[in-house]
Structure 1
Amino acid sequence: MGHGVFQSCDKKWVSGSLKNAILLDLTQKKQLGISSIFSVKMGKFDKIGQSKMLIFLDFDGVLHSAVSRPNARLFSQIPLLETFFRQPEWENVQFVVSSTWRLGRDLDDLRRPFSPNFHARIIGTTPDLPRSGSLNGHREREILQWLRDFGREQDAWAALDDLPSYFDKHMARLFLCASSTGLVEHDLPRLAAHLRENGFQAA
């Protein structure tokens, strides 16, 4: 499925490139353990939370089918994802958008399809790193850059995605969804096991 507009808010989408530079005040920089403002110029980070668990979230092929077909609904699987991550065991998990939907859209726009009381858990977007030749492992590199930029390299993390070619050395952290359906109910026991295997601990 292409990167179309959200069905209910198409007039609010703004095309064009994101302003990649973000500014952190000295207090934030100290909390993040970042010595130079230039080390965080590409990624986005909206809050400094206490969570040590991160999900890097794709949209196409995870939150809805990536296959164009009649009557397909964008973000049809968000209720399932939210219900799963509202369970007490996962209530401290935070989300970073790794999907290409992040390009040309700000964080408020990316949060809009989710329930309002879920917005605070979506804390940022990965940087848009230059592409050179093959995209193999490219999304993984963007994730690793975000972790370095915000001093969260020691946190437990996993990725929800439908494209294994975007990952390389950290393939074990990928929870692979079927592109044709996105995340579905029978995935959930396997997802819970995957998170525990990757260091996610009960809240």
Structure 2
Amino acid sequence: MFLDFDGVLHPEFCHASRHFECEACFSSAIDGLDLEIVVSSTWRHDRDLKEIKALLSDAISERVVGMTPRYSQLLEVPSTLALYERQAECAAWLSVNRPVYASWVAVDDRSWLYRPFCPNLVLVDGARGFDERSSQLLRARLNELSR
């Protein structure tokens, strides 16, 4: 699972005092599921993996296995993903770290960073962050992928 922070774990453009206020709802949504998390948030641009994990609850932090590379550092971007930075970053991480057939999902609030109608994207309302509706969408998507 690729995870964004701004607009997901807290509302987009919120005060720092509200950072990670949606983390408990997200954690509850993935509780009991066998999945790993790769950080795709721009927070990775100025923090290393240890710093990122320290920001998160233990329940989420222990699932974090890496961070996507920055788009500007990708050596090869498929032409089908050239306009979709976040999806290209996810694809780059997958190509190095997982088999070609691996299932994946991204939880993000910015649809334009992914190809239109990307079936792997669970779109969150960035003004609210991850909520019960997001939880239902995520669970449904994960159930589809596990079939």
TM-score between the two structures when normalised by the length of structure 2: 0.84
Aligned residue-pair number:
139
Letter in 2 for 1:103: H
Unaligned ranges ≥5, structure 2: 74-81
CA RMSD of aligned residues (A): 2.1
2:36 equivalent to 1:94? yes
Following TM superposition, by how much is the alpha carbon of 1:170 offset from its aligned partner in structure 2, in angstroms? 6.9
Q: Equivalent residue of 2:2, what SS? A: strand
2:27 is matched with which residue?
82
1:66 is matched with which residue?
12
Q: Which has the larger radius of gyration?
A: 1
2:61 is matched with which residue?
119
Q: Equivalent residue of 1:149, what SS? A: helix
Distance in 1, Cα, partners of 2:10 & 2:135: 15
Q: Deviations over 1:120-157 (max 9, x none)?
A: 210000001228xxx84111001001111113332110
Q: Equivalent residue of 1:160, what SS? A: strand
Q: Against the structure 1 CA distance between its residues 117 and 67, is the aligned structure 2 distance closer, same or farther, given a 3 Å change threshold?
A: closer
Q: Deviations over 1:45-66 (max 9, x none)?
A: xxxxxxxxxx100000000000
1:35 is matched with which residue?
none
Identity %: 30
TM-score between the two structures when normalised by the length of structure 1: 0.62
- On the 8 A contact 1:140/1:170 being kept in 2, the answer is no
Alignment of 1:44-55 (within 5 A): 55=1
Moved over 6 A (4+): none
Following TM superposition, by how much is the alpha carbon of 1:79 offset from its aligned partner in structure 2, in angstroms? 0.9
- On the 8 A contact 1:65/1:72 being kept in 2, the answer is no
